[in-house]
Structures are given as C-alpha cells and as structure tokens.
Structure 1
Amino acid sequence: MEAIFFHCMILLLGVSVEGFHHRHHHHDKLPKSLFVFGDSNVDTGNTQGSSWSFPYGVTFPGKPSGRLSDGRVLTDFLAAYLGIPSPVPYRERRTAGSRDRYGMNFAYSGAGVFSTYSAGLPNITTQIDYFERLLRQGTYSRQQLYMSMALLSVGGNDYAAYLLKNGLHFQALRGFIKLVVKQIAEDLNRLRVMGLGKIAVTGLEEVGCLPVVTVLTNRTSCFQPFNEDAAYHNRLLRNAVNAINARPGPSSSAALVVLPLYDAFHLILSGHTKLGSRFENPLQQCCVGVNGSECGSIEQHVKPSYTLCEDPSKAFFWDRVHLSQAGWAAVFQFLQPTLQRFLS
C-alpha cells in the first residue's frame, strides 16, 4: 500500500524553474505572449493548497505565491527567456488589467489530461475551454495568437492517479500511456487549430528519480521501471507531435516541439555535466516532512513539521515531487538550445 501511495504522489509532477534572466538578441522575433496549460510544473498561482504555505516561495518571491517550489517554475523561466513577464494566473484574470496582454496561465497543480485526484480539478480539456471562452469574448485577437506561444505540461498526474487506483501493473500501464498521449495529441491539435503560432509540450522527466520514489532506495538510485515507462511515453509523444507537424493545417498553422525534460534530468542527475555539479546530493529533497507530514505542514497550528536544507540553491529537488528553483534553472539551461532552434 505504501508503494502505491508513493506512485500516486508522482502524479503531482509539477516542476519549478529558477529565475532565468537571459534575454536573447533575436527577441524581436520571439513570441510576445505566453499561454500555459497543465500541472504543478507550470502553475504559478491557480491552485489553493500547500503552495500558499511557508516555506514555498522562500527563494522567490520571498513568500508563498502558489508555486510548488522554493521559487520560480518552468513558466517563469520560459517567460523570462521570451523577454516578457510571467503570464497572469487565470484566477487573477478579473484584476489583471493590462497584464493579460502577455498571455495567461491556466495550469492547475495536480491536473492531467483526464480526471486525476478530485472532480473539481480542471483537466487540460477544461483549461483549454477557459481559454476558448476568453477568445470568444475578444480578449485576444487572431493576430496576437499567431504571435504567441503555448506551453503544455502534462502526463505525470494521470499516471500517478492510475497507479493509485490500479496498483503496479506495468503491462496494463502501457495501454493507458497510449490513451494519455492520444489525448495530449488532441489537445495540442486543438490549440493549433485555434491559431497559436508556436506550441511546446514537455516530455516526462525521469519520474523514477523523484524523491517520492527514491525513498525506496534510501535516495541511492532511481527506480528504472518508472523511467522506462516515461521514456515510452516520450517516444509516443514525439511521434504524435511529428505527425501533427506533418499535417497541413490552418493558415496560421503552429509548429510544435517536445521539450526533452527526460534528457535534462538524466544528464544532471547522472553528474555527467557541469549543470549537475552544483547539486551535492541531487536525489535528496530540500524540504522534508517529518513523521509522514508534507513540506509546509504545521503541527497543531504552531510547530512546523518539516525540515529545510541549509541552502536550497544546492538542491535539485525542493520537495518529494517538485524541483527547486535551482533545479529548474539547470533544466532550463539544457532546454535552451531546443527552444532556440524552435523559435528562430
């Protein structure tokens, strides 16, 4: 039962990005706004929960801000790369003012392409429905969409929820992976037909290396069966994206790319690159719940029931399933060449 619980936790696969402040010289050609869909790897404040409790946000912005990290997440790094502010969370749309011109973030922590943990959690289809509603209201013009980029981060929560419900039946899981990728492809094509100029979708990271899983090996090694399933998901996703890119589409037909999170994790965690050299024990999380608690828990409203590492900037993982800001910074550095080719 405990093992199944660990796998369920994988589903919370939200990632965070460290403040990446590099703006490229060809920024005039870069998308002018960013629309974000997905899970906790990219959520910047739509979801109520532990992301609004200390010590989340301790590095940036210095207080909890709805990000499941000590600081910035993937959305923040990509926005900084594009030279725009991080897009406003959907739940703040009524008070966004002119900030919505830089796009909007529809992502919810825990979300998947299908229903995951709770009935009220907007899955990707629902998130895109929210976006479509704004388009019908005339919030964004067709020309702006063509000059925009979409980021989709999804998959982990679907698999965590599936394993929680069905146990560790890896053969059956392969069939479910096909269904998940098929739905992701439908979501991507829907965004493409809406007229978005560029669409990036994250591949799955090395989910067998998440602290929620490596607790089984005392943080000494990754659980390879999960990594093999993640690699299988990524192969199917790349094939699906290639097929969409090969299709004739609308006049503003989008180019799509898969962001190789798996390769970034592998290089950083294996220590084969200077990107990983800053992390003393990359499989160890920084914020650790005590006595079965989660990071950010408070015991009887008084005493924190978690411990923090001395320096979050030396930790790759922040909590049991999410990256630290430094972790995201290293990952994003690896993703940059892919983005540069895609956007040039």
Structure 2
Amino acid sequence: MALVNFQYSFFLLVFVAILVIPSKCYSESHKPRSRSALFVFGDSLFDPGNNQYINGSRPSPTNNWPYGETYFKHPTGRICDGRIVPDFIALFAKVPILPPYLQPGDHNFTDGSNFASGGAGVLDSTHPGTIYLNLQLRYFKNVDKWLRQKLGDVEAKKVLTRAVYLFSIGGNDYFSLSMENPNAPASYQKEYVEMVIGNLTNVLKEVYRMGGRKIAFQNAGPLGCVPGTKAMKPSLGGNCDELPSALARRHNRILSITLKRLESQLPGFKYSIFDYYNSLYDRVFNPSKYGFKEGKAACCGSGPYRGKNCGGNNGTADYELCSNPNEYVWFDGAHTTEGANWQLAKLLWEGSPKVTGPYNLKQLFKHVKEDNFDPSTFPEDI
C-alpha cells in the first residue's frame, strides 16, 4: 500500500511539473534581461542603413559596391567598407548588432535600437528629408510605447533606465554653415553653435524625463580635415579647412560644459564624452603610429584625395578603389574604414579618462542595477 501511495505521489509530482515548468519558462523568457540596452542617435557615422527606408528617398551611391565589401560582403546602407562604431559597441556590450529602426519586420527593442541617419543634423533645417534629431526622438518615443505594451510600465522604465544612449551628431550642422555662409561673423558662429547645443540639450532632457540616465557622446570630429572637404578646396594645399574644424572645437567645448551642468542638475545622470576630434586628427596626420599607411586620402573615390564619388553614379564605376581598406583611415570622402572604426570604438569602450570620460562605455554598461528603483520618482517636467 505504501508503494502504491509513493507511485501515486511520484506521478502526481511529474504531472504538476509538466504543467508548471513550461509556463514558468515562458514567462521568464518575456522578462527583460539584466543587461543594458543600447539606443543610438546620430548621423552617417552611426547610420546602419536607415536612409534606404525613408519614404521617397533617392538612390544613393552608398547602396552600391564597394560599400560593405569588407565584412558584410554587400552594401547594407552603412557608409563604410564594413562595420561602424555602434556595431562594435554592441559586440563589446554583448547585445546583437542593432538593425536600422526603419527596417521592415519584427524588432526586439529590449536590446535597443539605432535611429541614426546619414545627413541628419541637430537642427531640423539641416538636410531636410533625413531623420533629423527631433524625428529620431519621436521614433524613440514609439519604442517607449512598444516597450510599455510588451512589458508594462514599470519593466519598460527599467529597460530605459538601464540603457546606454550613444550620440554622434552635429557635424552636418557645421558643414552646412561653413558651406552656405563661409564668411559668417564670429558672433553668428557663436550664436549658431549655442543654438545647436540648445536643441541638443532639449533632446537630452526629454530622454532623461523618459528614464534615460546614461548618455555617451562621440564629439564632433575634425570636420575641415575630411578628404571631401579638402577636395572642394585645392587651395588648402593639404591643410585642413579652418572654419568647420573651429566650429567643431567650439561645439565640443560647450558640449562638455553642458553635460557637466546636466550632471549637477539631474539626479542619477551619468555621461561619457569620447574625444573623437583629437583621436581621429592624430590618425589622419600620424597614420603609421596606428598601423595605417594613408591618413589623408580615402580608399574609395575620385578626384583630389579620392574625396568624392565612391560607389559611382547609378552603379557606374567612375572611381578608384584601394586594394586594402585596412591600410586607410578614410574609406570615402567623409567616413572612416572598418579598421579605423574598430580602433575608435575601443577608445569609446575602454579609453582612459583623458580620451573618454568621466566614464567610458564599459563603465556605463556596468551600471545595470538601479538602487531603490521607483518609477514615480521620474520627473514629468524638467
């Protein structure tokens, strides 16, 4: 009789386990993971291919070979021979490479999303037709709604709080000013940079209001030193165009001051600034120091410094192409090679405070636990 009772109890336990365990596993699989998500905002340096999905977008040479040749073996919409900096950051952070936000199909936004768009500016008026920064913010708000629907308000807020927000934007605003108004007085240059930073600050405050706490910036690069800029002004004689570079330096100074101020004003706000300007500048003028053979001319393009026309027009091959992009800092007239992107991403990820500070991205990603997390403490107005 005892044996019968034992067998009955055993089979009852097995039956209950069959009912309970799959249900538990199912519910666990829908809980957000403890790792941080990655949300990317920016321009062509960080665009994984969003522009090819913009309604009414025109065919672009960047959708032609040889873009994508090194890693993907076909064009992906990235303006590079291979991977861009956010791809490597995702690799280091152990999250999937983020597809373009606009790419059709299902997305798992618990890992994050990439809203960056080639040509985008901080100002809405910079290159209309791109996904300018305020439109990227709107798309981020759509992601917030998706997370709330899938996870509920509290869990969605946790995803946004744990996430790291990576920005690279502003260069196109300064390219536009230097091309359209090259003789702008110093007072207007100052006012313009302050307008860009002001609009950027409003976006950061909105991200913070929604739950974002960890902000990372790749600052503006040496805009006057890109092959495309120098190709347009042969009179420079190999030197950099001073106006766009000066605007970038002013932007970087004010950005640093602004983020430090936000840190003092907004509880829990942490930030990182990668000195992209000087890191890239040194590679341009001292390429051999970093394993490159060429720092001033691009791997792909035509004209002086191969500064334009990589990918040709309508698929025609009216450009030159180097045999090994990894020997070059620049792939085309304004965008770095995968080899350079790897080095830059490593500096973003684990650079010293002199290069990436006050936190680097590795440190920001480690802050995945919120002490005393309470969604009711998030401000509605800032």
Does structure 1 residue 232 correspond to structure 2 residue 243? no
Does structure 1 residue 175 correspond to structure 2 residue 191? yes
Q: CA deviation at 1:42?
A: 0.6
Cα 1:30/1:199, change in 2 over 3 Å: farther
Taking structure 2 as the reference length, the TM-score comes to 0.74
Cα 1:160/1:325, change in 2 over 3 Å: same
Q: CA deviation at 1:256?
A: 1.7
Does structure 1 residue 59 correspond to structure 2 residue 50? no
Q: CA deviation at 1:266?
A: 2.7
Q: Match of 2:18?
A: none
Q: How far apart, CA to CA, are the structure 2 residues paired with 1:88 and 1:144?
A: 18
Give secondary structure in 1 for the equivalent of 2:297.
Answer: coil
Give secondary structure in 1 for the equivalent of 2:121.
Answer: coil
Q: How far apart, CA to CA, are the structure 1 residues paired with 2:327 and 2:118?
A: 25
Q: Structure 2 matches for 1:203-222, cutoff 5 A?
A: 203-215=219-231, 216=234, 220-222=238-240
Q: Match of 1:333?
A: 346
Deviations along 1:48-77, one digit per CA (max 9) or x if unpaired, are 233221111011201000100111111112
For the Cα contact (< 8 Å) 1:206–1:230, is it kept in 2?
A: yes
Q: Match of 1:245?
A: 263
Does structure 1 residue 147 correspond to structure 2 residue 162? yes
Q: CA deviation at 1:45?
A: 1.1
Cα 1:269/1:341, change in 2 over 3 Å: farther
Which range moves more in the overlay, 32-41 or 114-123? 114-123
Q: How far apart, CA to CA, are the structure 1 residues paired with 2:101 and 2:137?
A: 11
For the Cα contact (< 8 Å) 1:177–1:233, is it kept in 2?
A: yes
Residue of 275, 285, 299 corresponding to 1:270: 285
Q: Match of 1:16?
A: none
Does structure 1 residue 122 correspond to structure 2 residue 137? no
Give secondary structure in 1 for the equivalent of 2:50.
Answer: coil
Does structure 1 residue 95 correspond to structure 2 residue 105? yes
Cα 1:219/1:81, change in 2 over 3 Å: farther
Q: CA deviation at 1:121?
A: 1.9
Does structure 1 residue 86 correspond to structure 2 residue 97? yes
Gaps of 5+ in 2: 1-32, 53-59, 367-382
For the Cα contact (< 8 Å) 2:287–2:294, is it kept in 1?
A: no
For the Cα contact (< 8 Å) 1:219–1:284, is it kept in 2?
A: no
Give secondary structure in 2 for the equivalent of 1:151.
Answer: strand
For the Cα contact (< 8 Å) 1:54–1:296, is it kept in 2?
A: yes
Gaps of 5+ in 1: 1-28
One-letter code of the match for 1:306?
Y
One-letter code of the match for 1:37?
F
Q: How far apart, CA to CA, are the structure 2 residues paired with 1:272 and 1:50?
A: 27
One-letter code of the match for 2:137?
I
Residue of 205, 211, 220 corresponding to 1:195: 211
Q: CA deviation at 1:296?
A: 0.7
Provide the aligned length of Structure 1 versus Structure 2: 307
Does structure 1 residue 304 correspond to structure 2 residue 317? yes
Give secondary structure in 1 for the equivalent of 2:96.
Answer: coil
RCO comparison, higher one (Cα < 8 Å, 6+): 1
Q: CA deviation at 1:272?
A: 8.4
For the Cα contact (< 8 Å) 1:115–1:158, is it kept in 2?
A: no
Give secondary structure in 1 for the equivalent of 2:309.
Answer: coil
For the Cα contact (< 8 Å) 1:267–1:273, is it kept in 2?
A: no
One-letter code of the match for 2:344?
V
Higher-Rg structure is: 2
For the Cα contact (< 8 Å) 1:214–1:283, is it kept in 2?
A: no
For the Cα contact (< 8 Å) 1:88–1:103, is it kept in 2?
A: no
Q: CA deviation at 1:197?
A: 3.5
Q: Once superposed, what is the RMSD of the aligned Cα atoms? A: 2.5
One-letter code of the match for 2:259?
V
Cα 1:309/1:89, change in 2 over 3 Å: same
Give secondary structure in 2 for the equivalent of 1:91.
Answer: coil
One-letter code of the match for 1:135?
D
For the Cα contact (< 8 Å) 1:114–1:124, is it kept in 2?
A: yes
